[in-house]
Amino acid sequence: MRKSVMCRFKGFSFVLPIMLIFFLSSAWGADISIDGGGDHTMVVRDDETVWCWGNNESGQLGNGIQDGQPSTVPVRASGLMDVRAVAAGRKHSAALKNDGTVWTWGENSSGQLGDGTNTNSSQPVKTNGLSNITAISAGNNHTVALGGDKTVWTWGNNDNGQLGYQTTSNTPTKVSGLSNVIAIAADSEHTMALKNDGSLWAWGKNSSGQIGNGTNDNVTAPVKISGISNVSAIAAGGNHSAAVSDGKIWIWGSGTYGQLGNGTTENSNTPAMLSDLDNVSSVAATSFHTAILMDDGTVRACGAYGTADGRVDHLIPTEIAELSDITAIGAGESHMMAIMGNRSVWTWGRSTGGLLGNGSDGAGGDILEPEQADISLWVFPNAIASLQVAIGISPVITMSKDNDVSGDGNVGVEEAVFFLRVTAGMIP
């Protein structure tokens, strides 16, 4: 197996290690974005295309097939390029392009696609009236966008006040009284916003105390959450919420499965810090458990692993031994995702309908330990572009079958397979 390639540039020949090219592609690649919905998963690859897998009954995979069979392996969302972030709802999907526009597809019964209709779409459609958007998030049947002016826009279902105003809307509507927002999070039927002063705001369903304002009453307009400050990251689970502040993790809301990590299964309607954990980087939450990414690239999780027979509940954060060098984590309704430093994707949790993207239809039951999905974020042409940026050259270079790098612009099947093997860490 090759470990290096011969490059030619302006009459000079030189050898570059494959892993150098891989390293540079990771360093200069696309932003990492991965998210899960009720029964599907989405990810942005390094070439800024969107790939989805899982259930497709409402067209949420975006491949032009509606009421279709689930896909147990990743398929590309039709016609989408230059994407920087994705968000998955229960049965709908959203993508944010580099130009600040938002594109949505899948179920639209509540207007969650934001195109002014209530008609499902199996292909991406442009959301009305939005520009200069910097972030997106999706709940069960509503969608949230963060504007470049730090305002928040919402649309879709509003049964529990999750839009932050009194009416339902099938087009984006600005949430009044909310400014200077730098991050958003939505799941199930509540929404969260982080301001640039480190304060946290939330609204929507509050039956389990997931808003964190000391009550269990629904909230139809943003309220400031007391008792926590200097917040740097947020996550919304099905009926619980989490935040990172000064390297510590705070969790509140439903504790039915131990997802609050405090050693009990009781609910909490105010934020509570887990004092035993330091150096927390970010957090992700499903309806059943919470995953915590540490600064050292390890992951700890609490709550339910799996949803059926054989389910295991962890009442305190427990390190996931199979995961290391993790750079990002994501969550669906009942499954989790992690991206390693080598750009491989790992999934675990409920596996029905191809939800985990590992080629299995889930007939064997839930997956309680992370398994590698059938996709890598690394894309060879992107690696070459990254290499050109890194070392300041501008020829078109690509590997040929004689181990040279030429200027014909074509990568053969042999090379594609080889680089996929490199990405998967299979170099001998």
Q: Are 394 and 369 members of one domain?
A: no
Residue 24 and residue 35 in one domain = no
User: Mean of the pLDDT values across residues 55-76?
Assistant: 91
334 and 312 within one domain:
yes
Identify the CATH number of the domain in which residue 262 sits. Answer: 2.130.10.30
Average pLDDT estimate for 183-192: 97
Weakest-pLDDT range from 65-79, 130-144, 154-168, 321-335:
65-79
398 pLDDT band (50/70/90 cuts)?
very low
Q: pLDDT digit string (tens) for 281-302?
A: 999 999 999 999 999 999 999 9
Q: Averaging pLDDT over each range in 82-91, 308-317, 386-395, which range is the top one?
A: 82-91
Q: Are residues 173 and 135 in the same domain?
A: yes
Lowest mean pLDDT among 244-253, 337-346, 387-396: 387-396
pLDDT computed for residue 385 by the predictor: 41
Query: Is the pLDDT score of 352 beyond 80?
Result: yes
- Please identify, among 376, 403, 420, the residue that sits at the C-terminal boundary of a domain: 376
pLDDT digits (tens, 9 = 90+) for 137-173: 999 999 999 999 999 999 999 999 999 999 999 999 9
Q: How many domains does the chain have?
A: 2
CA distances from 141 to 5, 38, 48, 57, 108 (A): 49, 10, 25, 15, 8
Q: What is the spatial distance between Cα 186 and Cα 293, in angstroms, rounded to a whole number? A: 19
Q: Are residues 198 and 128 both part of a single domain?
A: yes
What is the rounded distance in angstroms from the CA atom of residue 72 to the CA atom of residue 347?
12
207 and 65 within one domain? yes
CA-to-CA distance for 109 and 3, rounded, in angstroms?
52
pLDDT tens for 80-109 read 999 999 999 999 999 999 999 999 999 999
Q: Same domain for 293 and 335?
A: yes
> Of 340, 359, 376, which residue constitutes the final position of a domain?
376
Are 19 and 110 in the same domain?
A: no
Tell me which residue range forms the domain holding 398.
Answer: 1-30+384-428
Share the mean pLDDT of the chain: 85
- The model's pLDDT over 205-238, given as tens digits with 9 standing for 90+, comes to 999 999 999 999 999 999 999 999 999 999 999 9
* pLDDT at site 378: 74
| Same-domain pairing of 365 and 389 | no
pLDDT given at position 71: 94
Same domain, 46 and 26: no
* Whether residue 252 is found in the same domain as residue 346: yes
Q: What is the pLDDT of residue 68?
A: 74
pLDDT at residue 196, as a whole number: 97
8 and 112, same structural domain?
A: no
pLDDT of residue 361: 81
Using N-to-C axis directions, what is the helix angle for 18-28 and 380-391, rounded to 10°? 90
Is the pLDDT confidence value at 66 over 80? no
Q: How would you class 249 by CB atoms within 10 Å of its CB: exposed for 0-12, middle for 13-18, buried for 19 or more?
A: buried
**Residues above pLDDT 70, as percent of the chain:** 79
Query: At 381, is the pLDDT very low, low, confident or very high (cuts 50, 70, 90)?
Result: very low
Residue 313: the pLDDT is: 85
